[in-house]
Amino acid sequence: MRALLQRVTRASVSVSGETVGEVGPGLLALVCAMQGDTDTDADRLASKVSKLRIFRDDAGKMNRSVRDSGGEVLVVSQFTLAADTRRGNRPGFSTAAPPTDAERLYHRFAEALRSEGIGTEQGRFGAEMEVTLVNDGPVTIWLDG
């Protein structure tokens, strides 16, 4: 699985003008299941996200995790993270997992974060979504795993 994490002071996701998920301080996690990904991959990525030390400690150093900081995570599916741009000007997405597998893994990832004790909100898989965020830092981290 692949994730693009953004440390945020707040973030929300809307579908057709209705807010379906929002968080205060924490992370926006844009996630993509890749072909061949398994439940183990989703669990491992969620564990990594929950423990990644990218939040400030009392000395201002990035030394705390989202869990340590009491932050929340907004999880949004984004198959375009699988974009292959090596040839031509139109990205290919053939390395993304098929939709049924991707949806299952997306929900598995979010549930794994919840099981880590992290407040987790989600977008709506497969929907046209509007994501609003205030990036804190800015801090943006790419994770493959």
* 27-64 residue pLDDT tens: 999 999 999 999 999 999 999 999 999 999 999 999 99
The overall pTM is greater than 0.75: yes
* Catalytic option among 78, 109, 120, 122: 78
Domain ranges of the chain: 2-140
Q: How far is CA 96 from CA 65, 84, 93, 131, in A?
A: 28, 10, 6, 21
Q: Of residues 79, 109, 120, 122, which has the active-site annotation?
A: 79
Whole-number Å distance between alpha carbons of 117 and 130? 27
Per-residue confidence band for 145, with pLDDT thresholds at 50, 70 and 90: confident
Give me the amino acid identity at 17. Answer: G
40 is catalytic: no
Query: 60-103: per-residue pLDDT in tens?
Result: 999 999 999 999 999 999 999 999 999 999 999 999 999 999 99
Among 67, 74, 70, 42, residue whose Cα is nearest residue 53:
67
Q: Active-site residue 109, yes or no?
A: no
21 strand-pairing partners: 13
> Is there a catalytic annotation at residue 125?
no
The domain defined by 2-140 folds into: D-tyrosyl-trna(Tyr) Deacylase; Chain: A; (3.50.80)
Among 19, 35, 38, 80, which one carries the catalytic annotation? 80
Look at residue 133 and tell me whether its pLDDT is greater than 90: yes
